[in-house]
Structure 1
Amino acid sequence: MSEYATGVAPAGRSSGEVVKRRVVGLVTGALGAAIVVSLLVAVEWAVEVADYILPQELDQYGIVSHEVDGLVGILIAPFLHAGFAHLMANTVPLAILGFLAALRGLGRFFVASLMIIIVSGLGVWFLSPPGLTVGASGLVFGYFGYVVTRGFFDRHLLDIVLGIGVAVLYYSLIWGVLPGQPGISWQGHLFGLVGGVFAAWTLRRRRRATKRTEIGQPA
């Protein structure tokens, strides 16, 4: 007698239990994503408050284009802003897109965030005119690119639908990658987007071919 994959729930586990586990996993993932992104936004605001209160301006530690010392700012610049108006403009999209990016796993979210920060920061350092660049816009554009393309690389239907929805709602972000308004780092936006797509491709879940064995076959 041979055993074949039938597509039914494993013995002793009803389809209702499987659905329940998936729902619990989704709720747990959403809660974890909400907590992590809330902490991220809280840190952004805490740093800006400190910058406002302290006599020394923290913005000086941002990315200084073409300066070797300015490379350190790549990891710091996403947490610095040129005033509260700048921070408020980034807060809502950062919270929404960051939550959606973290929804499918915090481990992938942290790695994706680091990739986006580095790619965006290097783009700013190499291509921006001499000067200082700060702000979380690179992360915002990176999370946008990550969420929109993740489902296609993973071949995951829910993520594809989510990505299409985000693309429809935030399509206007695309214009931010083009040279335009003075004082706005389109380089950070463009390479943040590139970093998000790169992270989605790099962290895609590779589907491994499963080898099914038949048990009880005669020798």
Structure 2
Amino acid sequence: MNDSQHFKFTNAVLLVPLGAVLFIWAFYWMELANGINLNHLGVYPRTLLGLRGVVMSPFIHGSLEHLYNNTIPLAILLAALFYFYRKVAWRVLIIGVVLSGLLTWLIGRPSYHIGASGIIYVLASFIFFKGIYTRYYRLVALSLVVVFIYGSLLWYIFPVKEGISWEGHLSGFVTGLLLAIFVRATLPELKKYDWEREDYNEEEDEFLKQFDENGNFIETPVEESEESPDKVKINYVYKRGKKEGES
């Protein structure tokens, strides 16, 4: 299977990111339209009722700025996940939501933890570590792009700023790393040239036979080949014209 067969632009590459963004924006609009605050549906650590936030918290945002900051990274990383890892994308996404939420519930401070940033950390961590782990050139390049664009996110897995759930970020980061290690993703086979194969023999290489041991091109005289018996031979006969007076 080559690159074009493995990496395909399917409907999910567009529809899943678009659906996720529309849903979280619609959820926030519903809160504003009805004048309600659903922060209490977020993850509240080590309480039975707080477990409902494992599923609900990614859709709840405390402010328009919070929602806006999560929108673009979520869309880009979801598109990358479903394009480059389409066969395991749903598994990574579902397990990532549940596991990162449970880890936040275990290690978080007694407060409501909300927002899609935990999922963003799951996706960024998975895509980065999976690309490095596979050592496939296109996926390694994707990992480097993620680091270049979202490398600054790493600081926020530590308590460096008040008002953010660094526990949710750390939980997402760890979850992405675990998924990168344990979720197996099929990769296209790399094309190997003859000289890259283990059974390659230089002495039998027709191209190398044209050079001597010093790398100089060996000119071989062109031998005149005998005419093939099946070759059609055409003979032309020129007939002299008649002179005047001849009958």
Tell me the TM-score normalised to structure 1 length.
Answer: 0.78
Q: Indicate yes or no: 2:4 matched with 1:28.
A: no
- Match of 2:63, as an amino acid? G
Q: Residue 85 of structure 1 corresponds to which residue in structure 2?
A: 65
> Aligned partners of 1:111, 1:73: CA distance in 2, in Å?
20
Q: Residue 93 of structure 2 corresponds to which residue in structure 1?
A: 113
**Deviation of the 1:24 alpha carbon:** 6.8
Q: Residue 123 of structure 2 corresponds to which residue in structure 1?
A: 143
1:78-114 CA-to-partner distances (Å, cap 9, x unmatched) read: 1111021110011111111221122124442221112
**Deviation of the 1:38 alpha carbon:** 0.8
Which is worse superposed, 192-201 or 73-82? 192-201
Which is worse superposed, 156-165 or 118-127? 118-127
Which is worse superposed, 181-190 or 55-64? 55-64
> Aligned partners of 1:164, 1:79: CA distance in 2, in Å?
29
**Deviation of the 1:115 alpha carbon:** 2.0
User: Counterpart of 1:188 in 2: which secondary structure?
Assistant: helix
Taking only aligned residues, the RMSD between alpha carbons, in angstroms, comes to 2.1
Structure 1 runs not aligned, ≥5 long: 1-17, 208-219
Decide whether the 8 Å contact of 1:65 with 1:129 is kept in 2: yes
Q: Which structure's residues are more often helix, by fraction?
A: 1
- 1:133 pairs with one of 101, 108, 113: 113
> Aligned partners of 1:51, 1:107: CA distance in 2, in Å?
35
- 2:155 pairs with one of 175, 180, 183: 175
> Aligned partners of 1:70, 1:205: CA distance in 2, in Å?
33
- Match of 1:92, as an amino acid? I
Runs of 4+ more than 6 Å apart? none
Decide whether the 8 Å contact of 2:88 with 2:185 is kept in 1: no
> Aligned partners of 1:164, 1:125: CA distance in 2, in Å?
31
> Aligned partners of 2:5, 2:86: CA distance in 1, in Å?
16
Decide whether the 8 Å contact of 2:87 with 2:185 is kept in 1: no
Q: Indicate yes or no: 2:28 matched with 1:48.
A: yes
User: Counterpart of 1:64 in 2: which secondary structure?
Assistant: coil
> Aligned partners of 2:7, 2:109: CA distance in 1, in Å?
44
> Aligned partners of 1:113, 1:78: CA distance in 2, in Å?
12
1:38-83 CA-to-partner distances (Å, cap 9, x unmatched) read: 1111111111111111244222211112211111111110111102
Question: Quick check: which has more Rg, 1 or 2?
Answer: 2
**Deviation of the 1:201 alpha carbon:** 1.8
Decide whether the 8 Å contact of 1:81 with 1:134 is kept in 2: yes
Decide whether the 8 Å contact of 2:42 with 2:57 is kept in 1: yes
- Match of 1:144, as an amino acid? A
Q: Indicate yes or no: 2:170 matched with 1:198.
A: no
Aligned positions, number: 187
**Greater relative CO, 1 or 2 (CA 8 Å, sep 6+):** 1
Q: Residue 194 of structure 2 corresponds to which residue in structure 1?
A: none
- Match of 1:201, as an amino acid? I
User: Counterpart of 1:103 in 2: which secondary structure?
Assistant: helix
1:192-213 CA-to-partner distances (Å, cap 9, x unmatched) read: 0111111122222368xxxxxx
Q: How many percent identity over aligned positions? A: 27
User: Counterpart of 1:171 in 2: which secondary structure?
Assistant: helix
Structure 2 runs not aligned, ≥5 long: 188-247
